[in-house]
Structure 1
Amino acid sequence: MSDSVVGAAPLQQEYDVVVVGSGGGALTGAALAASAGLSTLVLERTALIGGTSAYSGGACWLPGTDVQQRAGLPDSTEGARQYLAAVLDEPDQDRVEALLTQAPKLVAQLEADPLMEFEWIPFAEYYDAPGRVPMGRSIQPKNVRRDELDERVGAILRPPVERDRAGGTGRSTLSGGQALIGRLAAIVLRDGGTIATGHHVTGLRRNEAGRVDVVLVDGPDGPVEVTARRGILVAAGGFEGSNERRAAHGTPGDAAWTMAPRGTNTGEIIDAAAALGAATDFSGEGWFCPGLQQPDGSGTFTLGFRSGLMVDQTGRRYGNECLPYDRFGRVMAASEDRVPSWFVFDSREGGRLPAIAMPEGDPAEHLEAGTWVQADSIADLARTAGLDAGVLTATVERFNGFTATGVDEDFGRGVDEYDTFFAGGTGPNKALTPVDQPPYFAAKFVLSDLGTKGGLVTDADGRVLDAAGQPIPGLYAASNSTASVFGSAYPGPGAPLGAAMAFASLAVEDMQRD
């Protein structure tokens, strides 16, 4: 058996189900298929499984389940329906209903397996809208020790982002996205599934009857073809890693700034399906976030600003820095003079960034590279960063005035529960802390993303549709390979994973109806 093929047998020519990708949606589909007794193959183009899901906190926006009930939350399917009705703009109601109906069934099905257990995590939802649950309704898999799972999983599991980018290895205790991917992969392998890493899918093919049933793969030993008897599930991420496709679809940002593992998610599989007549929709753009720029030019997911303020290239604030990250990212993307931005902060945290950045990087390396600058006065800080000293000084003075009154007259920072979720200030508004302790710092920020959210158009069963709105036989899709059920909105923590998992499970259910 090749070192790149993990499972009960070497790579075969035929399987019941072939899954393209190995993130949370892909492995949910694969785990359910394998557990149902279907021969299942997972194809991952890199040497490690998990994709961006393995980097994530593992939050899953799956409302109305027993997990929320066990935690005593005022969550329900109807409440989530009300929330989405207020948040989404012109949604596909059939898909929304499919997600809401499937969520509790999926979680119950997964938790019936001894390898999977979820818990509620407090994490505020992203909109003040009817149906919102105080402190959030998102759930995540419980932590699990690496040695509690099949050792083959640990050998191919992508490490957390800060370790992966540095060439390191994973931790002995898996949490968040690590726990999700590890647990699902363990189910796949336990139930006879096969995971083939280093296998890059280059195309798809229809048979004479018009069914898409062949996956073209570039493997370690050369090109191979694999046939899927029941269905092909495309859940391989978006096109965030391709600047060419980003430009073609009008998606802001840059491949260098995305949080997807390097060298992945370049969108070829979406194009391959489109070449067979699949409909596409790229209007949702992406799951955006402010990205702390690193000395190597990459960006890193940043949220939870505890103090400080963000300014554009004129030295002026342009938004509530404590907005949910996708909403602030969209504000950032609204004007060219906001990318890059500068985040101004003081020394009250010992010169560390007063936010959660994954990874943050070493402050000394930032200062040496110029992605951070430091000065003893705001005016000098502005000059070092190439900003207008008078404008930045006035901006900081105005902001500090708001911290004294507790009211952000410009952008309302600290009014919403999300604004104060990470904050710990001691003034009248805990989301407003003065910038008044020298030396001062400014960190360069770019527009990062957790992936794009445009791609294949699917129905409520996860079936890929053609331009006439008809299902393409044999072809299914989920995750960021599809046009998001949420459109351009990001309802709450774990919305990408929750939707990916729900529609992957619906796809596998439909495959079993054939």
Structure 2
Amino acid sequence: MVNSVESWDEHVDVIVAGSGAGAMAGALAAAAGGLRTVVLEKTPLLGGTSAYSGAAIWLPGSQVQERDGAGDSTESARTYLKALLGEENSEYREVFLATAPEVVAFLESDPAVEFKWQPFPDYFDAPGRLDMGRSFIPRVLPHERIGELAALVRPPVDRDRAGLGHDPDAPLVQGRALIGRLLLAFTGTGNGTVRTGTAVTRLVVEDGRVTGVEAETDGGTVRIRAERGVLLAAGGFERDPGLREEHGLPGSAEWTMAPAGSNTGAAIRAATEVGAALGSMDQGWWCPGLATPDGNAAFLLGFRGGLIVDASGNRFANESLPYDQMGRRMAEAPGRVPAHLVFDSRSGGLPAISVPAAVPEEHLAAGTWIQADTLPELAERLGLPADALTATVERFNSFAEKGVDEDFHRGEDAYDRFFSVGKGPNPALVPVDQPPYYAARVVLSDLGTKGGLRTDTDGRVLNAEGVPVPGLYASGNSSASFTGPYYPGPGIPIGTAMVFAYRAVNHMKEEQS
């Protein structure tokens, strides 16, 4: 902790640490309100994991769903969240629901920000659920509209991991469109500045209030004062092996989807040094990960064939579960990581969505996929019991023939059916019976941690006594999510990050108005 500084290198009204969707929404709210705002991003590129994402945004009851006829409402979302979460954290639920439409209206008031509803089911069969979902996405952003600013936005995960930038002939889509649109709006206010390669390392406290930050750059340490407040929205700690081990977080820093060099928990550490309290540090936004030849993992979702087995050669879950739920099944018992996705030649490739996309030849050459002409041969090459694997596949095929998964009920839920392509009585159950057979290594990945700084409903960071730390705010994965161990629907990480960043900035405005 830095108690005071003799001089400041810069004075602004609001400092935002991080540049994901929540950070950029909060920065835009501050700058559009006339506050001098600086976004500090540790890495050379903006967007973090948000830029890699499909950019689904779960903000119920907004003008987007109403405009596009999604059938959504604040009341149905309340019913759904209450059914999942109960009354725990009900004040956060109510504030989130009340603020969500206001956030969307604010964002779309800037011509640079445009959204549309996209069908994608909510993740739990509970009252209030929408089978076609209530989330929305940004509209495609043409390269010519964003211009040179595109170079600041993190490119798609496959190009980023290969050290490549954006395809100059392609528009920005999904997460890149979201970050690009928010960046356009932010810089267009005339009150916003972005600094990449600037890592917040410490918070400055004067007379009990956080008044600024120290940050490391290639040119050395800089000290920036924030007259209104500091918003920490710099992601979680998924890339830090030590913090993961300390808090018993399943998975691995190597398998997370967070960009390399990001999300090491630096902002969270800086806040704890000034007395901030933590919550839900053992929680993450989980997903199955396809082990990739470079030692990373690819986000797996949308299974439309195959089956997943553990070290015993047996299935342990409905493979079509929403990805967070499948990830949690993987973490429940030893021997489930790594698992293997077993499929056959009828798939014509991986029977699932992989981000980045899987190149079979590369996986086969690296040994992350195994190919064999028979199931016993496949089992031998995987080190699995041949009898168990063969029996598992035969049992699964009998389920496909009958149309009923007697073990795990695959295909009975709207989410399962959303991705189904099979031609049999249950389109989510496709036989695995056409050699050659394949097995792809599956690990436990995550889209980020969801534990972090404890905050109130205005995004104010709390100390161990539950008292706000003056001048300090947090949102997104730098804060503890009010959804606890649940992932209600596509885009709730981004939606909640936006809402509480927006509320944090509004509190800064009100506090000193």
| TM-score of the two chains, using structure 1 as the length reference | 0.96
Aligned counterpart, 2:201: 202
Query: Which deviates more, 323-332 or 140-149?
Result: 140-149
Aligned counterpart, 2:488: 491
- Pair 1:190–1:12, CA change in 2 (3 A): farther
Aligned counterpart, 1:6: none
Matched residue type, 2:156: P
Q: What are the within-5 Å matches in structure 2 for residues 102-121 of structure 1?
A: 102-121=99-118
Q: 2:331 aligns with which of 330, 333, 337?
A: 333
d(CA) in 1 for partners of 2:305, 2:456: 43
Aligned counterpart, 1:250: 248
Matched residue type, 1:354: P
1:126·1:491 contact (CA, 8 Å) conserved in 2? yes
2:81 partner SS: helix
Q: Which runs of 5+ in 2 are unaligned?
A: 1-7
Cα deviation, residue 283, structure 1: 4.6
d(CA) in 2 for partners of 1:486, 1:446: 24
d(CA) in 2 for partners of 1:123, 1:375: 35
Cα deviation, residue 134, structure 1: 2.3
Cα deviation, residue 92, structure 1: 1.2
d(CA) in 1 for partners of 2:123, 2:47: 25
Q: What are the within-5 Å matches in structure 2 for residues 466-477 of structure 1?
A: 466-477=463-474
1:38 partner SS: coil
Q: 1:168 aligns with which of 154, 164, 169?
A: 164
> 2:154 matched to 1:158?
yes
Q: 1:13 aligns with which of 10, 14, 24?
A: 10
d(CA) in 2 for partners of 1:432, 1:509: 50
1:16 partner SS: strand
d(CA) in 2 for partners of 1:461, 1:396: 52
Cα deviation, residue 225, structure 1: 0.7
Q: What are the within-5 Å matches in structure 2 for residues 422-437 of structure 1?
A: 422-437=419-434
Q: What are the within-5 Å matches in structure 2 for residues 217-236 of structure 1?
A: 217-236=215-234
> 2:154 matched to 1:127?
no
Matched residue type, 1:449: D
Aligned counterpart, 2:454: 457
- Pair 1:39–1:152, CA change in 2 (3 A): farther
1:249·1:282 contact (CA, 8 Å) conserved in 2? no
Matched residue type, 2:134: R
d(CA) in 1 for partners of 2:189, 2:68: 31
d(CA) in 1 for partners of 2:211, 2:88: 30
Aligned counterpart, 1:308: 306
Cα deviation, residue 467, structure 1: 0.9
Q: Which runs of 5+ in 1 are unaligned?
A: 1-10
* Cα-to-partner distance string for 1:244-275 (whole Å, 9 max, x where unaligned): 00011111000000000011100021011011
Q: 1:27 aligns with which of 24, 29, 52?
A: 24
d(CA) in 2 for partners of 1:298, 1:89: 37
Aligned counterpart, 1:419: 416
Q: What are the within-5 Å matches in structure 2 for residues 77-96 of structure 1?
A: 77-88=74-85, 91-96=88-93
d(CA) in 2 for partners of 1:120, 1:497: 15
Aligned counterpart, 2:267: 269
Matched residue type, 1:204: L
> 2:373 matched to 1:373?
no
* Cα-to-partner distance string for 1:5-59 (whole Å, 9 max, x where unaligned): xxxxxx9611000000000000000111111111000000111000000000010
Aligned counterpart, 2:138: 141
Cα deviation, residue 300, structure 1: 1.0
Cα deviation, residue 407, structure 1: 0.2
2:203·2:214 contact (CA, 8 Å) conserved in 1? yes
d(CA) in 2 for partners of 1:90, 1:252: 27
d(CA) in 2 for partners of 1:101, 1:90: 16
1:289 partner SS: strand
Matched residue type, 1:137: R
> 2:436 matched to 1:439?
yes
Q: 1:54 aligns with which of 26, 51, 54?
A: 51
Cα deviation, residue 87, structure 1: 1.0
- Pair 1:284–1:498, CA change in 2 (3 A): farther
1:512 partner SS: helix
Cα deviation, residue 362, structure 1: 2.1
d(CA) in 2 for partners of 1:252, 1:370: 24
- Pair 1:468–1:459, CA change in 2 (3 A): same
Cα deviation, residue 284, structure 1: 5.5
Cα deviation, residue 167, structure 1: 1.6
1:289·1:301 contact (CA, 8 Å) conserved in 2? yes
Q: 2:67 aligns with which of 65, 70, 74?
A: 70
* Cα-to-partner distance string for 1:80-110 (whole Å, 9 max, x where unaligned): 1110001125531111111101100010111
d(CA) in 2 for partners of 1:268, 1:453: 15
d(CA) in 2 for partners of 1:73, 1:360: 30
d(CA) in 1 for partners of 2:138, 2:9: 32
Query: Which deviates more, 279-288 or 381-390?
Result: 279-288
Matched residue type, 2:157: V
d(CA) in 1 for partners of 2:357, 2:342: 15
1:292·1:360 contact (CA, 8 Å) conserved in 2? no
* Cα-to-partner distance string for 1:105-155 (whole Å, 9 max, x where unaligned): 010111111111111000011000001112000011111102112x34212
Matched residue type, 1:413: R
d(CA) in 2 for partners of 1:82, 1:283: 27
Aligned counterpart, 1:298: 296
Q: CA RMSD for the aligned pairs?
A: 1.1
* Cα-to-partner distance string for 1:330-375 (whole Å, 9 max, x where unaligned): 000001200000110001132x111000113321221122110000
1:20·1:42 contact (CA, 8 Å) conserved in 2? yes
Matched residue type, 1:39: R
* Cα-to-partner distance string for 1:147-206 (whole Å, 9 max, x where unaligned): 112x34212110011111112222431111111100101111111210000001111121
d(CA) in 1 for partners of 2:407, 2:77: 31
Aligned counterpart, 1:5: none
| TM-score of the two chains, using structure 2 as the length reference | 0.96
- Pair 1:272–1:170, CA change in 2 (3 A): same
Matched residue type, 1:285: Q
Matched residue type, 1:32: A
Percent identity for Structure 1 against Structure 2: 56
1:284·1:483 contact (CA, 8 Å) conserved in 2? no
